[in-house]
Structure 1
Amino acid sequence: MEPADSGPTPDVHDPDYIAFVAGRILDHVREVPELAALSEPVTFESTPHGIVMTTAPDAAHGDILDDLRSFLTALPQEGGTARALRENTSVEVGASERTPDLVVFDPSRRVLVRGGKAMSPTGILMLAEVTSNSTRREDLDREDPAAKPRQYAAGGIPLYLVVDRRRAEVLLFRDATNGVYPEPTVFRVGEPVWLPKPFSAAWPTEFMKNLL
């Protein structure tokens, strides 16, 4: 949402405008050498709440993500749909730039935006998040339009998978209607999590019982 060169003064309380300004500031933040050195342990996002910074995840978070990545990597390609996986990759959703824990996408349809630093929703097959204390509300809030479920649904993300460590559940958001996901399918940790096409496979989650 580019501010107009002339005309009415933009509404500084508009979430898209806040996200746009945060994105512009973030472009400059990334050019600061001292902050660039933090690119591995720290993640920055531009959101309707402003710039959000999250620190490196703990070991259990990484173990869950490693298992999901290994599971998805081992699956056969279905129906000719190619799959690639990326971590710490920013995704453009509306005026925001989000960085989910894992991005699964069709590499033949990848479109880079914002100076080649973020990916458009085009070709994304699934986004996945593993909650931490600092990110849980953003990852799961279904009422706040600025939180991830509403933003991902509005951005056309077909599948959004969240491991809620606090409640020992895995939630799968899908089939957005008018830019809003219906209530997610909820699996208890230990149950297989069925992922629909283009995966058509069940992710075993018994291993998580030792991590929560």
Structure 2
Amino acid sequence: MTAVEDRHGIHPDEFDEWTRILARTTESVRLELIDGMIRSTVVPDGDHGRIIQWLIRICMQSRPELWLHQDQGLKVQTYRNGRARPDGSLAPSEAFVGQGEWAEPDQVLMTVEVTSYDSDTDDRDRIEKPRAYAQTDIPVYLLIDRDNCVVTVHSEPDGVRYESVHTVPFGKQITLPDPIGITLDTEQLKEWVR
């Protein structure tokens, strides 16, 4: 595993083969390919899962025509040479049917990440993924940051970065802009942090 993590410039097809091999041998690690570098994350904890459940319920009540798909791999970045596995992707319920492990993100309205308690969270969730999702023109990126007890909404992708970034502490309301149009009351998030 260490040799794979240290490699730069891996081709997406080679990465796809690595993920197939790893999936047969372990369920405790998830791999992503961002900026040509392989990133690994541990399987989320119970509070992480509860936050996703909370968000699924809100999305279903507010936008029943959409679904928050969990852990669907997406082809990201300018030329779709990256592979990201967001904690959630808000899209029509049939958006990924027949697409396999790494889907085209064209129907994704929002990606969601909930920070994990690991050493790569800062680079991965706060720097690399917002850039990758903006390059892919995903309209909204929602980061639920358990380390800093804040929610950050990135919107208005320009093909390089998100032009609008709005952050509030847990306990405040924040509106997910169009095309989402949902307001989140983040008070309950205080219960699911260390």
Q: TM-score range by the shorter chain?
A: 0.7 to 0.9
Task: Decide which of 64, 83, 108 is 1:97's aligned counterpart.
Answer: 83
* Cα deviation, residue 107, structure 1: 4.2
Per the alignment, do residues 111 and 211 of structure 1 end up closer, same or farther by CA in structure 2, a change over 3 Å counting?
closer
Question: What do residues 28-53 of structure 1 show as CA deviations (whole Å, max 9, x unaligned)?
Answer: 22443x642534x3211122252222
Query: After the TM superposition, which of the residue ranges 43-52 and 95-104 deviates more from structure 2?
Result: 43-52
Query: What's 1:85 paired with?
Result: 68
**Aligned-partner SS, 1:104:** strand
Query: What's 1:144 paired with?
Result: none
Query: What's 1:4 paired with?
Result: none
Task: Confirm whether residue 133 of structure 1 aligns to residue 117 of structure 2.
Answer: yes
Query: What pairs with 1:177-196 in structure 2 (closer than 5 Å)?
Result: 177-196=158-177
Query: What's 1:58 paired with?
Result: 45
Structure ranking higher in strand proportion = 2
Contact 1:112–1:120 (Cα < 8 Å) also in 2: no
TM-score, normalization by structure 2: 0.82
- In structure 1, how many angstroms separate the alpha carbons of the residues matched to 2:98 and 2:83? 12
CA RMSD of aligned residues (A): 2.2
Task: Decide which of 87, 92, 109 is 1:106's aligned counterpart.
Answer: 92
TM-score, normalization by structure 1: 0.76
* Cα deviation, residue 178, structure 1: 4.4
Task: Decide which of 20, 24, 42 is 1:36's aligned counterpart.
Answer: 24
- In structure 2, how many angstroms separate the alpha carbons of the residues matched to 1:50 and 1:178? 20
When Rg is computed on C-alpha atoms for both structures, the one with the higher figure is 1
Query: What pairs with 1:193-212 in structure 2 (closer than 5 Å)?
Result: 193-212=174-193
Query: What pairs with 1:13-52 in structure 2 (closer than 5 Å)?
Result: 18-19=9-10, 21=11, 23-32=12-21, 35-39=23-27, 41-52=28-39
Runs of 5+ consecutive residues of structure 2 not aligned to the other structure: 1-7
Number of residues paired by the alignment?
181
